[in-house]
Amino acid sequence: MELDMVTMAASIGVSVPVIRFLLCFVTTIPVSFLWRLVPGPLAKHLYSAFTGALLSYLSFGFSSNLHFLVPMLLGYAAMVLYRPKCGIITFFLGFGFLIGCHVYYMSGDAWKQGGIDATGALMVLTLKVISCAMNYNDGLLKEEDLREAQKKNRLIKLPSLIEYFGYCLCCGSHFAGPVYEMKDYLDWTEGKGIWAHSDKGPSPSPYVATLRALVQASFCMAMFLYLSPSHPLSWFTDPAYQEWGFWRKLSYQYMSGFTMRWKYYFIWSISEAALIISGLGFSGWTESSPPKPKWVRAKVVDILGFELAKSSVLLPLVWNIQVSTWLRHYVYERLVKKGKKPGFFQLLATQTVSAVWHGLYPGYIIFFVQSALMIAGSRVIYQWEKAIPTNMALVKKAFAVMNFAYTLLVLNYSCVGFMVLSKHETLASYGSVYYIGTIIPIALIILGYIIPAKPARFKARKEQ
């Protein structure tokens, strides 16, 4: 068996631990399908927890489940012992343990060298544990003080320990996400809410949507295997790279980011297929006639939406969608005081949390600070575009094209840090193109204060 795995790993150019993980990861699809055949909520919770723990053991070894138990038990203890502050307690305890694991294992180095460990799964699990505790905390608050997301997801009653374990480890969904809410997990398991019998018809068939996700996964893997040999990250430190011209360096930064993204697209397409076939990915019915099922909860990435994004502001809405939603609901919105508008502080704080969640590598920190600058700069261009009167369509279009080009340039410049991780390699890559992707966003932010956008309607009234 080990010999077969060595052969398989060599055939696609990965290590044996990675091929073992991939086999277990793909197995989450049939495991999720079999969940549908398990009778009764209690048996379903047990099946969810057992299969998740078993797949973790087969993929990462026995110690992985011990690592997962720490944040799970800390979060549950906080909910039992001190409900009024269990959300914030779990947030800091969960992130504290995750940071400790990041520092101890330095997983980024292992990932770059073709290895893998349980830290990636622990990242997803940490978000699930924190959201559960925060939603249980929200159950104490008055409904009029809550945002819509809080009203929808809050927990009035403490989940049982077996419900909690089933939610955290559900059929291996903690491997790569997507992140979902405890309230949705309980409704799905018990056949309540949108999973209850509907007058729009029986439970939706997941098979066409699952097949579509699997076809997408196959295409993404093919793209990655085709592009990766000709765009290695090692070239960023090769002396030959430094001799290239400005435009060639810039285009290589784009192609490196473009190539790496197909790996993530593949992983997330498999995650999407598993959640869809289980039924948990179901998100309601469309208003069309006849109504069609929606699978938004399972959606992790919109490939075309990301690659062709018209603005940097749209990127979090189409990349790692469920984690972006988590950051918005549990960090960004909760930092905004009632009656106030969010600003750059909330954006930077959210991006910092995202950076720490990924790991304490300088490349991650630099990338997410860059992301905050990139989004702020894109907002300035958008505000200018909105301020242009509708009768100046060509100028308006020029600003739209400018925002698209800006997003393409700054995104792929910035993501080098996310890929190479080290401060030296990141700054060397940025410096090789004269820090253009840092200077332009900062210049736009400053210009936004010097030349503030004025709504077009006021201009039109003035002219009249």
> How confident is residue 390, by pLDDT bands cut at 50, 70 and 90?
confident
Dist CA 331 CA 347 (whole Å): 9
Indicate the residue type of 194.
I
Cβ atoms 166, 44 nearer than 8 A: yes
- Domain boundary assignment for the chain: 1-195, 206-450
Partners of 285 in the β-ladder: 293
Note the pLDDT of residue 290. Answer: 83
Structure tokens at 14: 């990965």
> How confident is residue 461, by pLDDT bands cut at 50, 70 and 90?
very low
Indicate the residue type of 124.
V
Torsion sign across C-alpha atoms 405, 408, 411, 417: negative
- 453 vs 134, more confident: 134
pLDDT in tens, 273-293: 999 999 999 999 888 888 889
Predicted confidence (pLDDT) at residue 3 exceeds the cutoff of 90? no
Distances from the Cα of 104 to the Cα of 109, 122, 129, 221, 303, angstroms: 12, 14, 21, 31, 34
pLDDT in tens, 192-244: 999 987 665 567 899 999 999 999 999 999 999 999 999 998 889 888 998 99
Q: Is 358 annotated in the active site?
A: yes
pLDDT in tens, 154-165: 999 999 999 999
DSSP string, 293-326: B--GGG----HHHHHT-SSGGGHHHHSSHHHHHH
Note the pLDDT of residue 200. Answer: 57
φ, ψ for residue 82, nearest 5 deg? -150, 75
Active-site annotation holder among 45, 67, 329, 358: 358
| SS3 category, 285 | strand
Structure tokens at 168: 């955290």
Note the pLDDT of residue 2. Answer: 54
Neighbours of 147 (CB within 10 A): 13
Dist CA 189 CA 67 (whole Å): 26
pTM, to two decimals: 0.91
Q: Find the farthest-apart pair of alpha carbons in the chain and give their distance in angstroms, rounded.
A: 80
Structure tokens at 294: 């929606």
Structure tokens at 94: 């969960």
State mean pLDDT over 142-157. Answer: 92
Of 248, 258, 233, nearest in space to 411 by CA = 258
Averaged confidence pLDDT in the chain: 91
Dist CA 355 CA 263 (whole Å): 20
Cβ atoms 373, 442 nearer than 8 A: yes
Dist CA 157 CA 186 (whole Å): 12
State mean pLDDT over 45-71. Answer: 95
Predicted confidence (pLDDT) at residue 88 exceeds the cutoff of 80? yes
